[in-house]
Chains A and B, each alone.
Chain A
Amino acid sequence: MSGNIFIYIFIMAAVTYLIRALPLTLIRGTITSRFIKSFLYYVPYVTLAVMTFPAILSGTASVWSGLAAFIVAVALSYMGKGLILVSMAASLIVFLLELIIV
């Protein structure tokens, strides 16, 4: 059973939606377990950290521009700058650096 692109797309969409919707709709009350609450508190930080590094190094045309973007993003975030500014600054440093090194 394979080959029809629309069936592929439908299966993907159904599986992905169910993964997102089931926990949101089945967990209606407040979780009381301290362990589970702490676990869920840490989840986004770990997931985003894992997805950011080292992937940021290979997302650009050069490892060095990726590293520079990472340093700039961490530094500006640490100084408490907003999402847009941090994103734009990271993109800008990559663009400028790659004019020179790529």
Chain B
Amino acid sequence: MEKKGKWYKKGLKDGLPVGLGYLAVSFSFGIQALKANLTWPQAVMMSMLNLTSAGQFAALDTITTMGTYVEMALSQLIINLRYCLMSSSLSQKIGENTPFFHRFFMAFGNTDEVFALSAAQDKPLSPYYSYGLMSMAIPGWTLGTLLGGIAGNILPDRVLSALGVALYGMFCAIIIPPAKKSRILSAVIIIAMLASTIFTFAPLLRDIPSGIRVIILTVSIAGIAAWVAPMKEEAV
């Protein structure tokens, strides 16, 4: 019991910047949703059930243009397919003795940021750590949508702009410390950022939607890295 509480608290603590970052991002989502003619309860419902930034922003386009239900399903599938990779990776982190039902709940909250923090933990990953993270992430995302949806522009642009980088700062704090000890990992990260820059700005490549870009680059770069520099058995 004590251990569960400890992991839950650690999750809450690590999840705090995630929750704050989400608050800012979903605040702007709430405003965008109103522009797409959703009511604020609809926007809040969407945030609570989906918990995905890129997917939800893209969905507003589909809704505004009255896209078909099939189009909605396909676009979500492609934009969110990266979660499939993340969940596969996470499946290897969960201890063998962890009751199976936890996986259904952990899956619900497996966002980019929750995954990033979970992946940084040593195996076995406690589901209570994930629940701690989710206890920050879900209210942050939902509440931000609510505030954006009902109050419009409360926060000045300056504050939104500043809060917007909190998530990226967190990503850096997750990927860089392990890279310090591994040249291969450093190279993988630098190559990934360079490739991402090329895909963002180069003609033709920049037309690829960002969700698909993430999948293409992740599969190809992680695939090449795994082929060229496979991990030593005990490290994985």
Contact = CB atoms under 8 A, between A and B. Distances in A.
Interface string A1-40: 1110111111111011101111111011011001111111
B189 interface: yes
Contacts of B235: 41
A19 to B, nearest CB: 5
B165 A41 contact: no
Contact of B158 (A7, A23, A81, A99): A99
Contact of A16 (B55, B188, B233): B55
Given A53-B197, A98-B161, A19 B87 contact: yes
Interface residues of A, number: 79
B172 A70 contact: yes
Contacts of A92: 162
Contacts of A69: 165, 168-169
A7 B69 contact: yes
Interface stretch (B1-9, B137-145, B146-154, B220-228): B220-228
Contacts of A61: 157-158, 161
Interface in B63-79: 63, 66-73, 76-77
A20 B70 CA distance: 19
Contacts of A27: 88, 91-92
Given A19-B77, A38-B236, A56-B165, A47 B72 contact: no
A27 B49 CA distance: 24
A23 B177 contact: no
Given A1-B68, A24-B110, A50-B214, A41 B231 contact: yes
Contacts, number: 300
B67 A2 contact: yes
Contact of A8 (B72, B103, B119, B233): B72
B34 interface: no
A45 B168 contact: no
Contact of B46 (A12, A44, A47): A12
Given A21-B107, A91-B163, A91-B169, A46 B218 contact: yes
Given A2-B68, A43-B218, A95-B162, A77 B88 contact: no
Given A11-B73, A35-B230, A59 B165 contact: yes
B173 A86 contact: yes
A52 B169 CA distance: 8
Contacts of B14: 83
B59 A8 contact: yes
23 contacts: A12-B46, A13-B49, A15-B77, A16-B76, A19-B77, A19-B80, A21-B107, A24-B87, A34-B231, A38-B236, A40-B222, A45-B175, A45-B179, A46-B189, A47-B218, A53-B196, A54-B193, A60-B161, A60-B162, A73-B169, A77-B173, A86-B170, A91-B165
Interface of A: 1-3, 5-13, 15-17, 19-25, 27-28, 30-31, 34-56, 59-61, 65-66, 69-70, 72-74, 76-78, 80-84, 86-92, 94-95, 98-99, 102
